Amino acid sequence: MAAALRAAEIALLLAAAWPVLRVAADRRLRRLFPWAHAAALGLVALWLALVALVVLRFPSALHALAAATALALAGTFVRSRAGLRLERALPPGSLSFSRSIRSVADRRAHLRDAERFGPIFKVAQFHRPVICVVGLERIHRLLREHAPSLAPNRLPLTRDVAGGFLRYMDDETYALYGPLFRRALSQSVVAAAGPSTQDAARRELDRLASDCSNATTPPPPAEYLDRIAVDGLVRALVGLLPGTAPQRSFVTSYRTLAEQELATSLSARTRESLGPLRRVAAERADGETASALSELRRIDPAMPDTICIDNVLFTLRFASANVVSLLHWLLAMLGRHPEWGARIRDEPELAGAFVQETLRLAQSEYLYRVVTDELEFEGYRFPRGWLVRLCIWESHRSPDAFEQPERFDPDRFVAKPLRTSEYSPFGWGQHACNGVALTSMICTTVLETLVTGYRWTVSGDGPAERDFRHWHHWRPSSALRLRVTSL
Ligand code: HEM
């Protein structure tokens, strides 16, 4: 009897290593985060050593260790409740910590969760419980019906923005600045930034062509794409022309803001760098060149005030990260589907469809909200304080809206216009993105300039990568390279 109990206790202790072993055995995790994989292996080794020590040297402690482990496992099991729905009102799913670690490295994890649990399910992001919602029509309905109980998830970076960042403003402030900003990024402002963006694209691609000719492997495309995006955005938002001394000095100060982590408050150095940026932006409202700032002045002579100026600067920060990331994905997609290069060269209007399909399959991922008051939706309880992940990437794979949803097929955007309940990479409603036209202008300009003016090949494409956070965006392989030669 005692021997059987001992064997059962040892079996329990060995079984307790299973969740960590699964983390250690995860191939995606090993590839993306070798240190996390090594830490999991180390934990398993430590645990086995502890079990061996207790069994061989301190057998009297075996009962206590087994009892504590059984309690911990029971607690973990109740917390994770994979699919059991013991607490009926919560959505199904698993809050398991080890599963949450594996999901950081697995882009399709939530697609499989949705297949298994249905369109509303719970997951953990490390310690934090999150409810995922899949399906654009359902997501829109959730936001419509429960807007007062769902707040945006504020990024600490925006804490210093005078008057609050547009996305997080209180209703009264937003009622003034929201519509103002939408008008400030008008078609004419975007069109006026077109020639500078095209010049920047040519300049950077020429530079890349020259750098490629001097090296056996092309350099990473990041810095070239970044300079094009920043030049186009600074031209459109602030009105500074690329290549001029004031623009160079502005961009130099801006680099500090650009490098600031999104998840932390501004460092003293970044705060300091805001001084010159704010000064230049205030002066540019009177500039000759059409820009968001000069448009704000034209619409209302009392503008741009400090709130507008800070919002322009922080929009530049977020917009450039988004646009550079999209430009990377466009290169990856061109490499995977080079026939589209020839098609865009012959019919430049297809560049827009190529961008839309790239947003659908690659870049646009999710929006987050925080539950500020408990709510009930489709029979499930959304507890206060939980995060809600609106799963855009997964929703954009709906076979109801997209025939063969996994196929890269820009023609689908030429064939029929889609409703926002089928395709929404830029958000919707009053807080929808107001940089759609600008994003499209920069991306189509880069595509068209590349395919009409250069011979190009994309190499090194591999599995997508991300940093060790659930909310960090996926990006193409860091081995991705673009080799260009001028025609
Ligand atoms: C690939 C490019 C971009 C993507 C995928 C994107 C996506 C989005 C999304 C999904 C939202 C809604 C966020 C939410 O509801 O929580 C948003 C809001 C916003 N975007 Fe973009 N964006 C992009 C580029 C830009 C650019 C170029 C600008 C301007 C220069 C811009 C300015 C804004 C602003 C100001 C908001 C907040 C609007 C408001 O609350 O009134 N975005 N964007």
Continuous H helices in 217-305: 222-237, 245-259, 268-284, 292-299
Q: Looking at ligand 1, which atom is closest to the CA of residue 174?
A: 41
Does some domain include residue 105?
no
The pLDDT value given to residue 88:
60
**Contact (CB, 8 A) for 362 and 470:** no
Does some domain include residue 309?
yes
Closest C-alpha to ligand 1, atom 7 = 426
Closest C-alpha to ligand 1, atom 29 = 435
Specify the DSSP element, H or E, that contains 354: helix 350-358
The pLDDT value given to residue 86:
52
Does some domain include residue 23?
no
The preferred substitution site among 426, 430, 442, 475 for testing ligand 1, maximizing ligand atoms within 8 Å of CB, is: 426
Does some domain include residue 123?
no
Beta bridge partners of 116: none
Q: If you measure from the C-alpha of residue 436 to the centroid of ligand 1, how many angstroms do you get, rounded to a whole number?
A: 8
Does some domain include residue 61?
no
The pLDDT value given to residue 402:
94
Q: If you measure from the C-alpha of residue 114 to the centroid of ligand 1, how many angstroms do you get, rounded to a whole number?
A: 26
Continuous H helices in 87-135: 97-104, 109-117
Angle at 85 between CA 80 and CA 88, to 5 degrees: 130
**Percentage of the chain exceeding pLDDT 70:** 98
The pLDDT value given to residue 391:
98
Closest C-alpha to ligand 1, atom 39 = 431
Does some domain include residue 121?
no
- Full residue range of the structural domain in which residue 385 is found: 156-486
Closest C-alpha to ligand 1, atom 28 = 435
The pLDDT value given to residue 345:
97
Within 6 A (CB) of ligand 1 lie: 152, 166-167, 178, 181, 233, 237, 315, 319, 322-323, 326, 364, 367, 425-427, 431, 433-435, 438-439
In terms of Cβ atoms closer than 10 Å to its own Cβ (0-12, 13-18, 19+), residue 232 is buried
Does some domain include residue 464?
yes
What the block records as the tokens of 227 is 């300079």
Rg of the chain in Å (alpha carbons): 26
User: What residue has token string 């009392």?
Assistant: 302
Does some domain include residue 67?
no
The pLDDT value given to residue 482:
97
Q: If you measure from the C-alpha of residue 277 to the centroid of ligand 1, how many angstroms do you get, rounded to a whole number?
A: 21
Q: If you measure from the C-alpha of residue 467 to the centroid of ligand 1, how many angstroms do you get, rounded to a whole number?
A: 22
Q: Looking at ligand 1, which atom is closest to the CA of residue 326?
A: 1
The preferred substitution site among 433, 438, 445, 473 for testing ligand 1, maximizing ligand atoms within 8 Å of CB, is: 433
Establish how many alpha carbons lie within 13 A of residue 385's alpha carbon, considering only the half-sphere containing its beta carbon. 3
Q: If you measure from the C-alpha of residue 434 to the centroid of ligand 1, how many angstroms do you get, rounded to a whole number?
A: 6
Residue 75 has phi, psi (to 5 degrees) of: -60, -45
Q: If you measure from the C-alpha of residue 167 to the centroid of ligand 1, how many angstroms do you get, rounded to a whole number?
A: 9
Q: If you measure from the C-alpha of residue 425 to the centroid of ligand 1, how many angstroms do you get, rounded to a whole number?
A: 9
Q: If you measure from the C-alpha of residue 176 to the centroid of ligand 1, how many angstroms do you get, rounded to a whole number?
A: 18
Domain count, the chain: 1
Q: Residues near 85 by Cβ (< 8 Å), separated by ≥ 6?
A: 92
Task: Give the span between the Cα atoms of 166 and 435, in whole angstroms.
Answer: 13
What the block records as the tokens of 180 is 């103002």
Task: Give the span between the Cα atoms of 54 and 36, in whole angstroms.
Answer: 27
What the block records as the tokens of 234 is 């600074």
Q: Looking at ligand 1, which atom is closest to the CA of residue 359?
A: 5
Q: What is the largest CA-CA distance in the chain?
A: 91
Closest C-alpha to ligand 1, atom 22 = 433
Task: Give the span between the Cα atoms of 393 and 429, in whole angstroms.
Answer: 18
Closest C-alpha to ligand 1, atom 30 = 435
User: What residue has token string 């000095």?
Assistant: 249
The pLDDT value given to residue 82:
44
The tens place of each residue's pLDDT in the chain, 487 residues long, gives 688 989 999 999 999 999 899 998 999 999 999 999 999 999 999 999 999 999 999 998 999 999 999 998 888 777 766 444 555 699 999 999 999 999 999 999 999 999 999 999 999 999 899 999 999 999 999 999 999 999 999 888 888 899 999 999 999 999 999 999 999 999 999 999 999 999 999 999 999 999 999 889 999 999 999 999 999 999 999 999 999 999 999 999 999 999 988 888 889 999 999 999 999 999 999 988 999 999 999 999 999 999 999 999 999 999 999 999 999 999 999 999 999 999 999 999 999 999 999 999 999 999 999 999 999 999 999 999 999 999 999 999 999 999 999 999 999 999 878 899 999 999 988 899 999 999 999 999 999 999 999 999 999 999 999 999 999 999 999 999 999 999 8
Q: What is the CATH number of the domain that holds 222?
A: 1.10.630.10
